[in-house]
Amino acid sequence: KHASKIKLEGFNVGESRKRDKSDRATREQVLDPRTRMILYQLLNRDIISEINGVISTGKEANVYHAVVLPDDALPAHRAVKVYKTAILAFKDRSRYVNGDYRFNKGGYNKGNGRSIVQVWAEKEFRNLKRIHSIGIPCPEPLYLRQNVLVMGFVGDKKGHAAPRLRDVTFSALGPEEEEQKYKDLYVQLLTYMRIMYHSCRLVHGDLSEYNVLYHEDKLIMIDVSQSVEHDHPRSLEFLRVDIKNVSDFFRSHNVEVLSERNIFKFITGE
């Protein structure tokens, strides 16, 4: 009984260094008692073996680095996204969920005990599954429990997370090679957007250089909690914004981008 209490206070089996980190996380107010209970269950069930530092603290979610040490396999890195349970963090998000038939059946009001935050986490989990199963590079969705999502870690063997496209530098390349690199990545991203539209029937909805990681010469789609079905009443409006963000970014890296109209046709056309 006492031992489990120690575990509950920290992420881990009472290592003080790690407990400091969890204290910090608790202060950041993501880890309300219910969330800590879920993390504790994940630790006990060997879905993860320890939670280390914070990869990212955001308005709506924090992402933690975790490690799993299976009995019968090599250790592996994990990313754990914890959606903040404070309802305020999600107040701008209803326009994405309204109009998506997948989430309107049960609803998400207080009455049925399913909070908007849980709907949000579930949305990301399901969207990731779809995107991952079609073969677009994205974190592998592994486990969902309420507001806690465990996914594959995108980064190196030492546990350093991959940079966002925004933060990539090709310092080893000359200016011409660098330009070519951005051109290639531009084509890569447009292709993923097209596949995502046609095969996953999804529009990302918050696509930009901030929600794409760069790893092993590939772009990795992340942060798909707000992605909508392409028959969502506002999906084409969201797609236009995605296209604009992508165009702006690559133009700023000297790529001769296509007209936004043509990109739109490329993504949605047969």
Q: Which residues are catalytic?
A: 206, 223
Q: Which residue among 25, 142, 161, 189 contacts ligand ATP (CB under 6 A)?
A: 161
Nearer to Mn ion, 209 or 223 (CB): 223
By CB under 6 A, name the one of 96, 118, 131, 139 that touches ligand ATP: 139
- The Cα-based distances of 125 to 27, 111, 145, 202 in angstroms read 26, 23, 10, 13
Among 145, 164, 230, 253, binds ligand ATP (CB under 6 A): 164
From ligand ATP, Mn ion, none, interface partner of 61 (C-beta below 5 to 8 A by class): ligand ATP
Residues 198-257 that bind ligand ATP (CB under 6 A): 211, 222-223
- The answer to the question of residue 211 lying near Mn ion (CB under 5 A) is yes
Q: Which stretch binds ligand ATP (CB under 6 A): 27-35, 45-53, 152-160, 182-190?
A: 152-160
Residue with nearest beta carbon to ligand ATP: 58
Which listed option, ligand ATP, Mn ion, none, makes contact with residue 154 (CB within 5 to 8 Å by class)? ligand ATP
Listed residue (153, 155, 150) closest to 39, CA to CA: 150
* Sequence-distant (≥ 6) Cβ neighbours of residue 181 within 8 angstroms: 170, 173
Residue 193 as a binder of ligand ATP (CB under 6 A): the answer is no
Q: Which of 58, 135, 233, 269 binds ligand ATP (CB under 6 A)?
A: 58
Neighbours of 233 (CB within 10 A): 11
Q: Give DSSP secondary structure letters for 117-152.
A: HHHHHHHHHHHHHHHHHHT---PPEEEEETTEEEEE
Output the DSSP codes for 196-235: HHHTS-EE-SS-STTSEEEETTEEEE---TT-EETTSTTH
The count of chain residues that interact with ligand ATP, using the rule CB under 6 A, is 21
Using the rule CB under 6 A, is 141 a contact of ligand ATP?
no
The stretches of the chain forming alpha helices (DSSP H) are 2-9, 16-27, 33-44, 94-97, 116-134, 175-198, 235-251, 260-268
* Interatomic CA distance for residues 31 and 23, integer angstroms: 9
**C-beta of 227: minimal distance to Mn ion in Å?**
12
Window of 59-67, 110-118, 168-176, 194-202 that interacts with ligand ATP by CB under 6 A: 59-67
Q: What single-letter DSSP state applies at residue 88?
A: G
Q: Is 223 annotated as a binding residue?
A: yes
Q: How many CB atoms lie within 10 A of CB 74?
A: 7
Residue with tokens 């399901």: 126
Query: Which residue ranges are tagged as binding site?
Result: 81, 152, 211, 223
Q: Which residues in this chain contact Mn ion in the complex, by CB under 5 A?
A: 211, 223
Q: Which residues in this chain contact ligand ATP in the complex, by CB under 6 A?
A: 55-56, 58-61, 63, 79, 81, 139, 151-155, 161-162, 164, 211, 222-223
Query: Which residue ranges are tagged as binding site for ATP?
Result: 81, 152
